[in-house]
Amino acid sequence: MSDLKNTNTHEWSDLHAEIQDWLAGYADGELDEHHTALVEAHLAGCKTCQHDVERQRILSERLQMIPTPGLSADFDGRLDIALANAPAGGKRPSGRRRMTNLKRWLSSLRPSVVIGSGGWAVALVLAAVLLMPSVTPDNINRIPMVSDVLNDYQRVALEELPIQAGSSEVSPPLPWANSRVLATWMTRVGGEPAQAYAIRQDNSLVIQYRISERVFFRNPDVRQAVARAGDFRTRADQLEVLGLPMEDSGLLVVAPAGNMPAVSESTTGAS
- Name the helix (H) or strand (E) containing 105: helix 95-108
More confident residue, 149 or 259: 149
* Distances from the Cα of 175 to the Cα of 111, 194, 207, 252, 260, angstroms: 21, 17, 11, 13, 13
Task: Indicate the domain borders of the chain.
Answer: 2-65, 73-265
Neighbours of 73 (CB within 10 A): 7
pLDDT digits (tens, 9 = 90+) for 147-176: 999 999 988 877 767 665 445 567 889 888
Find the mean pLDDT for residues 236-260.
90
pTM of the complete model: 0.53
73-265 adopts what CATH topology?
A: Phosphorylase Kinase; domain 1 (3.30.200)
Please report the DSSP string for 136-184 in residue order. Answer: -HHHH---HHHHHHHHHHHHHHHS-----TTGGGPPPSS-BTTEEEEEE
The conformational region for residue 16 under phi > 0 = left, psi -120 to 50 = alpha, else beta, is alpha
Most confident of 17-26, 92-101, 183-192: 183-192
Q: pLDDT digits over 202-222, tens only?
A: 778 899 999 999 999 988 889
Q: 127 pLDDT band (50/70/90 cuts)? A: low
> Cα–Cα–Cα angle for 252, 256, 261, nearest 5°?
60
Lowest model confidence (mean pLDDT) among 132-136, 158-162, 245-249:
132-136
